[in-house]
Chain A
């Protein structure tokens, strides 16, 4: 485990922000910390990247303690924060070389590394322009490149795609996948379920300073329940008869009945056949697979009792 967090507590004054976070990340994987605003995602990242001291608990990155061996931790990680951190009055190349020098690469090595990254992120044409002239997407790409100068073993990305247009978001996702394929470990935070679903090997749901669930996207989805068929009727009498037929509870508004399903075509056929034989007309059928939204809502809206983690 390249990231090992146990019993992490952090309070600001009397406000508890982290209330016993446990987190284990395997090397070479993508982990997404998912949660609503104020859940403690950013605070977690700040403790893991040595920017904040934990009140309680142990945090080790690549075996180094974030408090006692902060400098060593800083030597193996990089942080790309929520807000782009670049010097507007320096050129793209100067920004990258500066980080290289601060990572104690030699002058020539820092220049080589900068050149490679500019190439990789499609910034060669703009490299000698000041960053203040860059577009939002270019700034994000350069910002990510800044985090790669040191070839870190663990990369922390705090909301890497917030505020990006769809094209830039896709570019960012590709960059993340690229990094993972070369063996880098990535821990990112996001408010976007789709992003977590598409990028992460493991999703960690954080709410009110605690980990409320974790696992692969599929495992989390199956925790909130299987697929279902929604049947819509035109009259309350039909709805009641269908409910009796399948033995499921129903309301009256809307005139929709939810029938648990295994998601197969055979089950759909059986349901429709049963309805036809019983002479109950159905207006509309739709199949639903649980999404991460269902997981997210069931875990954040109802407190944290819904699903055993």
Chain B
């Protein structure tokens, strides 16, 4: 009788995570819902905002140039909702017991989901930007601007993915994970994503201006199309880093608590 498990070691931690990432990517790619949510939906939303609502919204620029960062963040929310649901699926099916009874790093399970989530978002963002250019989006950004925007978005996506993983861990079912993700889907509407905040009633405007999505959107928009950002870059960065630290630590803590009774 051979015992095949090798214990501990950084190499195993990396290989466990890679295996789990491969799994999550494969599952995401094959799940029709996830694909629709992360690729088709953003494209539909963009067409809707550009062609249906956009003509009636006055942003002082061509609407498509205004709305692209908002669409990117909106689809990040959908991507995160999928992530929360697939984490919840693992947690509420027998899979988590099977995985936990293997000699692997427990962190590998969530790391797999989060990394796959980031990869999926990367893909959907690329699709959205590509489609936007085809629809008339004309950014005037330099390479450095693009890289800064991409870096900020990556940080935001990472933070949101860990937040989603945490929601997936505490959800009692896949359905409730989807309900918990509602906030992530709703917040973009209460921001400067689709309309400038200055037409909103003052209390809503206060909410919009002081939630994380508005500074991220303003910064990305500024970087890509050259609108004035008014120093939102730092605020956006602070939000993303803060959110990442909080959601990562709480997801890890919740996972340990949920699985170690």
CB B7 to nearest CB in A, in angstroms, measures: 5
Contact between A85 and B103, CB atoms less than 8 A apart: no
B95 CB contacts on chain A under 8 angstroms: 85-87
A126 CB contacts on chain B under 8 angstroms: none
Contacts A51-B100, A53-B261, A79-B98 given; 4 further ones with Cβ under 8 A?
A: A76-B5, A83-B94, A104-B103, A151-B3
Contact between A74 and B5, CB atoms less than 8 A apart: yes
Of A95-103, A245-253, A293-301, the segment with at least 4 beta carbons within 8 Å of chain B is A95-103
Contact between B97 and A103, CB atoms less than 8 A apart: no
Given contacts A71-B8, A74-B101, A94-B26, contact A102 B16 (CB under 8 A): yes
Contact between B97 and A51, CB atoms less than 8 A apart: yes
CB under 8 Å from chain B, chain A span 54-91: 71-72, 74-79, 81-87, 89-90
Residue of A nearest to B102 (CB): A102
CB A248 to nearest CB in B, in angstroms, measures: 52
B23 close to chain A: CB less than 8 A: yes
Closest 9 A-B residue pairs measured CB to CB?
A: A75-B5, A85-B94, A74-B103, A85-B98, A83-B94, A89-B30, A79-B101, A101-B19, A75-B103
CB B5 to nearest CB in A, in angstroms, measures: 3
A102 CB contacts on chain B under 8 angstroms: 16, 19-20, 99, 102, 104, 108
Contact between B101 and A50, CB atoms less than 8 A apart: yes
A89 CB contacts on chain B under 8 angstroms: 26-27, 30-31
Question: Within the assembled complex, what's the spacing in Å between the Cα atoms of A153 and B16?
Answer: 22
CB A261 to nearest CB in B, in angstroms, measures: 46
* Of A101, A153, A184, the contact of B3 (CB 8 Å cutoff): A153
Contact between B101 and A87, CB atoms less than 8 A apart: no
Contact between A99 and B102, CB atoms less than 8 A apart: yes
**Size of the chain A interface, CB-CB below 8 angstroms:** 39
Contact between A87 and B23, CB atoms less than 8 A apart: yes
Return 5 A-B CB contacts under 8 Å, by A number.
Answer: A74-B101, A74-B102, A85-B95, A146-B98, A151-B4
Contact between A103 and B102, CB atoms less than 8 A apart: yes
Interface flags, B19-49, vs A, CB<8A=1, else 0: 1101100110011000000000000000000
A150 close to chain B: CB less than 8 A: yes
**A interface list, Cβ under 8 A from B:** 12, 46, 49-53, 71-72, 74-79, 81-87, 89-90, 94, 98-99, 101-105, 130, 146, 150-151, 153, 183-184
B179 close to chain A: CB less than 8 A: no
Question: Within the assembled complex, what's the spacing in Å between the Cα atoms of A99 and B94?
Answer: 14
Given contacts A71-B7, A71-B8, A85-B95, contact A77 B101 (CB under 8 A): yes
B15 CB contacts on chain A under 8 angstroms: 101, 104
**B interface list, Cβ under 8 A from A:** 1-8, 12, 15-16, 19-20, 22-23, 26-27, 30-31, 93-95, 97-104, 108, 259-261
A49 CB contacts on chain B under 8 angstroms: 97, 101
Between B8, B23, B103, B108, the greatest number of chain A beta carbons within 10 A of the residue's beta carbon is seen for B103
A184 CB contacts on chain B under 8 angstroms: 1
Question: Within the assembled complex, what's the spacing in Å between the Cα atoms of A130 and B32?
Answer: 14
Residue of B nearest to A77 (CB): B101
CB A244 to nearest CB in B, in angstroms, measures: 61
Question: Within the assembled complex, what's the spacing in Å between the Cα atoms of A151 and B1?
Answer: 7
CB A4 to nearest CB in B, in angstroms, measures: 19
A82 CB contacts on chain B under 8 angstroms: 94
B7 CB contacts on chain A under 8 angstroms: 71-72, 75
Contact between A104 and B8, CB atoms less than 8 A apart: no
Contact between A90 and B104, CB atoms less than 8 A apart: no
* Of B27, B93, B101, B108, the contact of A51 (CB 8 Å cutoff): B101
Residue of B nearest to A146 (CB): B98
Question: Within the assembled complex, what's the spacing in Å between the Cα atoms of A133 and B31?
Answer: 14
Contact between B3 and A75, CB atoms less than 8 A apart: yes
B97 CB contacts on chain A under 8 angstroms: 46, 49, 51, 79, 81, 85
A46 CB contacts on chain B under 8 angstroms: 97
Question: Within the assembled complex, what's the spacing in Å between the Cα atoms of A84 and B97?
Answer: 11
Contact between A90 and B26, CB atoms less than 8 A apart: yes
Given contacts A89-B27, A90-B23, A90-B26, contact A78 B101 (CB under 8 A): yes
Question: Within the assembled complex, what's the spacing in Å between the Cα atoms of A133 and B12?
Answer: 33
Residue of A nearest to B16 (CB): A102
Question: Within the assembled complex, what's the spacing in Å between the Cα atoms of A150 and B102?
Answer: 9
Question: Within the assembled complex, what's the spacing in Å between the Cα atoms of A85 and B100?
Answer: 12
B4 CB contacts on chain A under 8 angstroms: 75, 103-105, 150-151
Residue of B nearest to A101 (CB): B19
* Of A52, A85, A98, A153, the contact of B1 (CB 8 Å cutoff): A153
